[in-house]
Copies of this chain bind each other. A is one copy, B any other.
Amino acid sequence: MSAPHPTRQALLDAGVRLAEASSLANLSVNAIVGKADVAKGTFYVHFADRKAYLVALHRGFHDDLLAQIRVAIEPLPPGNERIRAGVSAYLDGCLKARAVKALLLESRAEPEITNEVQKRNRAFSRLLASEFEAADAVEAAGAARLLVATIAELALAEAEKGNPDQALRRHLWRMLAAR
């Protein structure tokens, strides 16, 4: 993992800060370069176009989340405790990243990055399905897809609230067990 160019990173950081404060729709190139305090042309030194920038922003967000999940589940043996640890890592990671509302939800509307979001959600679903000791792999995949959507909704609910919602998490554990 080579160190990214500092100005490129500054532009991505500016995007995260903007997404924290408002919505993806306000992530204009003007706003980004304003926040990063660089000239407009500089944006195009580091990104082919706005679409490429948004994809990069997403990728960074999800890569971070995935890394946190891996750290959380790595020491645990397969089983429900491991699954809950992974899901908790996801939810806690979302809570720390206050840009989650914009990145998780609103970006689904931008046709340019829908593919990226779907790819990431499928990756999460596969990860979850692989934890189910399922006799039928197809059934596990279906269950995982619905559960990933449920988990994302919970992350949004907590993002609005600002802190963990234990009652909702309890419901989630029950759904995970019922699968």
Residues of A within 8 A of B (CB): 23-25, 105-111, 138-139, 142-143, 145-146, 149-150, 152-154, 157, 165, 167-168, 170-172, 174-175, 177-179
Q: How far is the CB of A177 from chain B (nearest CB, A)?
A: 7
Asked if A178 contacts B167 (CB within 8 A), the reply is no
Whole-angstrom distance from the CB of A30 to the nearest CB of chain B? Answer: 18
Q: Which of A24, A25, A152 has the most CB of B within 10 A?
A: A25
Contact of A146 among B23, B107, B153, B177 (CB under 8 A): B153
Do residues B146 and A109 form an inter-chain contact, with CB atoms below 8 A? Answer: no
Q: How many copies does the complex hold?
A: 2
A165 to B139, CA, bound (A): 12
Complex alpha-carbon distance, A88 and B95, angstroms = 33
A/B interface sample: 19 pairs, CB < 8 A: A23-B109, A23-B111, A25-B110, A105-B108, A108-B108, A108-B109, A109-B109, A109-B110, A139-B167, A139-B171, A142-B165, A142-B168, A145-B153, A145-B157, A146-B153, A146-B154, A174-B178, A175-B175, A175-B178
Q: Given the complex of chains A and B, what is the CA–CA distance between A23 and B108 in angstroms?
A: 11
Q: Which residues of the other chain, B, contact A154 by a CB distance below 8 angstroms? A: 146
CB pair B146–A172 under 8 Å, yes or no, is: yes
A158 CB to closest chain B CB (Å) equals: 12
Given contacts A106-B109, A177-B178, A178-B178, contact A167 B149 (CB under 8 A): no
